[in-house]
Chain A
């Protein structure tokens, strides 16, 4: 069983002390990525629920490369201590309740080695009290508690209770922590040395709007808060009254912007963001404030003057911004499940760690088009439609992005109502071609636009645009596109529209005509078909490509795609058909209807009649490439709301002739999910299934785009160590410091070049001190050579006489 597709941006990541690794919370595990290559290095496995925060123990000095420890907290109510260079769990502390957020303010003053010494380490955790039912409106479920990490136990009482649990923010110095709770901002001062839990003092600030985030200045008493309308409030000199116990003598007028008797010197408001501010972050020297939100723009505020700089077009709402110990590297988490590594002063993106793209909401009228995913079964790839007009190719086996293809060249802005989107994507069976449909919705009936695009490429994921067809079915929506199976010589595709016709497209580059002067490459329409002007709701080719099935509302029609001849009309389902698929090695076809009267029907094509049917709401279907089995994903809404949280879907595996399912599995979050039979990965089969024949694996992807791949026939769970599949650890990369980190490496200077100069011949004469220095200065031999000769010449040679 392989799982993957976890969110990389559920909580803030953390850099290791040398800035070479990035610790990312991905579901129940912490994944460690290399910042230089963007590849996965290792994973920390141990938590049983989502990891909510990760804190690296800071170590300075040369040991920082060896010392790599971190604390993590999770929704399973535990706090763990890890050595992440070896991926070893060192210590576990149990808290009773799910931990939403954890900070360890005093961690900076505690060297990692001295944990066992007298100074104790305390963590502030924000928990969700699950003992209180959430039915009650007034229940205070959120609590901020204090844990002693050294003693592994809870100390002191509650710091505060709130309706919901909130993220805790801590200042870099560890002096303050704070949370936002609606229109209040709580700040606690933590005494640094000689910590005692009863010495924590609290102040409250009152902004006018609901706050969404806050940040502390690294050195001064400045706190910034962002609210849901996009304003940024900056309080300077907060807490002087309470924390420093100075009694201010100044009156109200001298505290501009401060409301009521809030404990601050001044409060300034900046407004640029149009939507909620998602993160605020002070640069390490405290001169700049970074802010970001739904617009996908980082705004850099100069703190003293309020001047702004922008980094626009990040393509998705921003969530977190974290800096690293390396001054020119930061990381930015985006809502589209991407983490960008940003080169700092210039704000260039140097690397992106991309997870699977998250689902986005189509406009209502397009709900029927269920082809949100396109699978490539042989390569184990999934093509996902993304919100920023791309198609993402994601390798299910390797759990990483392969590539992205920009379908519609438009600058993406995260907005509430979607007006332009990629509606459909289909891959040809050999993966060499792709077809996409992008839709522009009209404004009050004006300017709606549908574009069909055909792409070709040498291999999957690398496509270039080959043909653009504007308004293929005049202004009608396209309900389905499908490629014809078969070799590249028979490239043919069909698009069906709700306007009542379908078109068969052929790639003219495959049909060279003798004597044609200007061969125009690309796709063109070969034939148009319609049946009683009924809206065509689905289309598919049979496995051998000889029959084209097109659904016309409650019926479906069978066509010869080459001659465009109607062969047969079958069926009378109770509701419009949404999906048609042939069962590969048999004479059966499965149709799916949804909405008011859901139906799953299996049709026998030789008898032109219905074989069997169920009245169930089917979300997705997949058929095996060979053999006569198919799997469906069924939404189970019989249990009502009580069971909504957990398993709401069922996967059923059928043999086509038999209405009794072969196997069933219960799954979570089935709404908007998908199913596919994948050819087993070659690499996997060789190592893990010696001797067994090829049988395909079933991949299930849920509504949140998390997926699992398993063997539908295997009785025992096939456990595949995921670590075996992680990509190779990058080699120790050469380190750049000082000059080279800024300007790059200097070219190698060959020191030996000096030696190759031939020695200048000179003739020592009888009186060498006279001639030795004659000649032009650049011709003289080096002084080191001359010296001995010169000294020698000064000495008188005495002939020894032996007598």
Chain B
């Protein structure tokens, strides 16, 4: 049975506010904090416009930057040996992995769409020519369709390709009235795709319908659309444009469900993330990760329509990616830095293999301990209690600070000196206040010797104007000077401290005057506003 009497309170505990910290950290923000940030070693300087993870193990990463597509290994996120793919004549855009991860397509400023083998270096396997202007978005269908490819560009043309023959199966000329800058294939069917354009509209297309007939569905975002994302159900679409991310119900005919307006600048990219520690293949809850020019990454729970976590980066963010393994999160910036957040993998599987190997090894023979060996005298001391043992616990010793010990023994002056020596304002003020409560402060100040008085003056000089302590410490400084005036006059050291105090008081007076001036300016305004 535990002792039910009150614990010992150290003097500092009286000042501490509540234990609010554990409350502020939700399990979700804990999860997002567990990604350890590091930068990949590649030395890019130009904006990273797009990031895409391979859907297959080991979930390689492709990043479009300048005139090349950089490839990174999925587990270590280090550049691959054949990276970058640089058979582009101009800026490369929008790398996209096929659903099995065996092919990579990318657009470019020249209007050429190229298809590569991401596992080896070399020239493009296929070159798709149809666009006359830069191709900003290239997407393979998400569902098991290995043959086709979508591409769209600044010429407002949406093309549907048969990759193997390099031919256009369908094309939607003038699909939008402005640049197409976003598109997202449906996660449930290979035939449906949503595109977003700078003409503020988002359109959903179905390749099974003839190009003459209209799109399946259209709705207006209200700002140039920077990014479009089909949510996993296939019934919802998230669009990013301007400062807002909007969620639409496609099946319900393009009804606006929610608007998230927590970014302060243009939202540049959104992608799907997942919460849950179980690793790949598990079904954690999905989240929308959005990045913006304002440097914030926000995690948005689209089930509860709530921001659950925010990360700040020191640059403008252009692109974001979340590994399907759930272990890494990458953010591309306008200055070429890719911020990589990696989760620590619990290497359970590896350990298991190791354990099996160990078991086959012959165990080293245990030597019988003899009194000649020093261990003989330590035998049994590191023994752990087994489950059935009844453990008689030693009462825990309370660790006390030195000034607490001295206060316990009513050695008030020594406690004050000990606290002053720690140079921690919190402890010093706590001890001073405890002495006030015991009516012993003035007595202990009277008993301080010269050096200790110097310590006290130094403390007062540094802290007396801090607003939290000011009322108490200012009064104290005045009282100390009154009480120990003779000592101060006789000692050179102390008069130096007093000079310092004087300077501090002058400075404080100046600040106060300034503040009063500001208050004088503000108060008429407030009075007017109040009317």
* A binding-site residues for B, Cβ under 8 Å: 313-315, 340, 343, 346, 348-352, 388, 406, 408-412, 417, 419-420, 440, 442-449, 464-468, 470-471, 474-475, 514-515, 517, 521-522, 743-747
Contact = CB atoms under 8 A, between A and B. Distances in A.
Contacts of A744: 390
Interface in B1-28: 1-6, 8-9, 11, 13-14, 16-20, 23-24
A517 B312 CA distance: 11
Given A314-B5, A349-B4, A411-B9, A446 B441 contact: yes
A21 B236 CA distance: 69
A410 B390 contact: no
Contacts of B82: none
Contact of A468 (B17, B261, B388): B17
B475 A446 contact: yes
B309 to A, nearest CB: 11
5 A-B pairs closest in CB distance? A465-B18, A447-B436, A348-B3, A409-B9, A468-B17
B496 interface: no
A314 B392 CA distance: 25
A351 B4 contact: yes
A681 B16 CA distance: 39
18 contacts: A314-B5, A315-B5, A343-B1, A348-B1, A408-B14, A409-B16, A410-B434, A443-B435, A443-B439, A443-B441, A443-B442, A446-B441, A446-B442, A446-B476, A464-B19, A467-B18, A468-B17, A515-B262
B472 interface: yes
B433 interface: yes
Given A444-B479, A466-B18, A466-B20, 10 more contacts: A343-B1, A348-B5, A349-B5, A410-B9, A419-B437, A420-B437, A445-B475, A467-B18, A471-B471, A746-B390
Given A340-B5, A446-B476, A447-B436, A470 B468 contact: yes
Given A349-B3, A352-B4, A443-B442, A747 B475 contact: no
A455 to B, nearest CB: 9
Interface string B416-441: 00000000000000001111111101
B436 A346 contact: no
Contacts of A314: 5
Contacts of B1: 343, 348, 350
B13 A443 contact: no
Contact of A747 (B4, B11, B388, B434): B388
Nearest to A411: B9
A237 B17 CA distance: 58
A747 B387 CA distance: 10
Contacts of B281: none
A457 B408 CA distance: 33
A443 B446 CA distance: 14
Contacts of B214: none
Interface of B: 1-6, 8-9, 11, 13-14, 16-20, 23-24, 261-262, 310, 388, 390, 392, 395, 432-439, 441-442, 468, 471-472, 475-476, 479
A313 B6 contact: yes
Nearest to A747: B388
Contacts of B395: 346
Contacts of B432: 447
B436 A442 contact: yes
A564 B380 CA distance: 73
A468 B438 contact: no
A590 B437 CA distance: 38
Nearest to B5: A349
A409 B475 contact: no
Nearest to B432: A447
A173 B23 CA distance: 60
B6 A315 contact: yes
A346 B5 CA distance: 13
B344 to A, nearest CB: 27
A442 B439 CA distance: 9
Nearest to A465: B18
B433 A440 contact: yes
Contacts of B2: 348
A348 B432 CA distance: 32
Given A409-B13, A471-B471, A743-B392, A419 B5 contact: no
A440 B392 contact: no
Contacts of A445: 475
A314 B7 CA distance: 10
B18 A515 contact: no
Contact of B436 (A419, A464, A474): A419
Contacts of B3: 348-350
A449 B442 contact: no
A101 B18 CA distance: 49
A587 to B, nearest CB: 30
Given A352-B4, A447-B476, A465 B17 contact: yes
Q: Which residue, A343, A446, A468, A475, has most C-beta atoms of chain B within 10 A?
A: A446
Contact of A447 (B6, B19, B390, B433): B433
B388 A447 contact: no
A750 B149 CA distance: 70
Contacts of A408: 14
Contacts of A743: 390, 392
A449 B6 contact: no
B7 to A, nearest CB: 8
Given A440-B433, A446-B436, A447-B432, A409 B14 contact: yes
Contact of A446 (B19, B23, B472): B472
A446 B437 contact: no
A516 to B, nearest CB: 9
Nearest to A455: B18
B18 A443 contact: no
A716 to B, nearest CB: 43
